[in-house]
Amino acid sequence: MVEYDWREIHSVKISCGERLSDQIYLDLIGGRYSCFRLLNGTHEIGCSSAEEGNEGVVVYANNADELINLIAGLDSEDRIITAFDIFLLNEEIIRVLKDDKVRGVLLLRNESAISDVKRLDIGFSEDAFCPNEQFDISGKCENRWNEHGALLPEGFRFINWKKPIFVIENCTEIDIIRNFVSRFAMLYIYHLF
């Protein structure tokens, strides 16, 4: 039988200098693209965090239906941070992401995992079908030159999100998020239903 002196184990842990918060939290440095509050006349467009912070259980959705059903099935006090493939974004997903129960969004962009080449050719623009339409001489959109790339006619960035949104491109961090959710968060999801 092997016996350990608690003081020796404890001193080794302290000598590593690792704080408890470093053992609990993971900084995602791959989230270099973030949505932010835009300065306009009303200050009501773009993304921002709540003063008290945005906390929630991280959940990963494999497809649009899974994400929509998950959010629809939440109780009023449930709070989640969604993680899903950026190529799933469409008008319906954007509509359900506006729900106050969604406290944050992690858009995962891993092009090497995309098997359908057509999905890679989809443009992504946060602007409207007709960027700067309001400043056009005619005041209306006559040439929708950004229709292929825009997610919404009025533009993704002109929504008042009231939550942080990050794009994660680092493959290692994407794997960490997916593995974490598959191990731990599924217990929470099963509890919801």
Dist CA 159 CA 155 (whole Å): 7
Own/partner pairs for 114-122, CB < 8 Å, 24+ apart?
114/87, 119/87, 122/87
**Residue pair 61/84 in contact by the 8 Å Cβ criterion:** yes
Among the listed residues 108, 105, 79, 97, the one whose alpha carbon sits nearest the alpha carbon of residue 176: 108
The residues near 47 (Cβ < 8 Å, ≥ 6 apart) are 34, 35, 36, 37, 161, 162, 163, 164, 165
Q: Which pLDDT does position 82 carry in this prediction?
A: 92
**Residue 116 pLDDT > 50:** no
**Residue pair 128/152 in contact by the 8 Å Cβ criterion:** yes
> Domain segments of the chain: what residues?
28-192
- Prediction pTM value: 0.73
Q: What is the pLDDT of residues 4-50, one digit of tens each?
A: 333 333 333 344 557 777 766 767 776 667 777 777 666 677 778 88
Q: What is the pLDDT of residues 170-180, one digit of tens each?
A: 888 888 888 87
Q: Provide the token pair at 36.
A: 């932010």
Give the pLDDT band of residue 128 (cuts 50, 70, 90).
confident
Q: What is the mean pLDDT of the chain?
A: 74
* Segment 66-88 mean pLDDT: 89
SS3 100: coil
